[in-house]
Amino acid sequence: MNSALTTLARIVCPHGGQVDTRAIASINRDEQGRYLLNASESLAIFGCPLSSPCSQLKWLPQSGEKQGFQPVTRNTPNLCLSANGSPQGQAFIMSEE
C-alpha cells in the first residue's frame, strides 16, 4: 500500500524512539479529514536510548520533486539524525493508524 501517511501513523527510529507526528504545520487533509504528513517538514524524535540519541526525522527529497506540499508515503526515504546532525539510520513506519 502506498497511501499518504497521516498524523496517526506510528513511526519509530531504528532504536525504538518515538517520532512525534502530531506537531506539524500541514493543513492538508485526506478524505477522512486526517492531517497528512508533509515531506518538507522535519519531525521530532523522543525516547531514543542511544548516548547520542536520534532527535529529528528528515524526509529526503526525491530528484525532480517540487517545493511545497509533498505527501509522505511508506516509500518516502527518510533519515534519523542526532542533535549534532549525525545520521543514525532510517525510521520504521510501524502502522499507518
**pLDDT, tens digit (0-9, with 9 covering 90-100), for 2-27:** 789 999 999 999 999 999 998 887 78
Give the domain range for residue 84.
Answer: 1-97
- pTM, whole model, 2 decimals? 0.89
Give 85's contacts (C-beta < 8 A, 6+ positions apart): none
**Phi, psi (degrees; rounded to nearest 5) at 82:** -80, 175
Q: Rounded distance, CA 86 to CA 80, Å?
A: 8
Kindly give, in sequence order, each residue whose CB lies less than 8 Å from that of residue 70, ignoring residues fewer than 6 positions away. 38, 39, 40, 59, 61
- The total domain count for the chain is 1
Q: Which residues pair with 11 in a beta bridge?
A: 93
Residue 48 has pLDDT above 70, yes or no: yes
Angle at 6 (CA atoms; ends 8, 54), nearest 5 degrees: 75
pLDDT at 24: 82
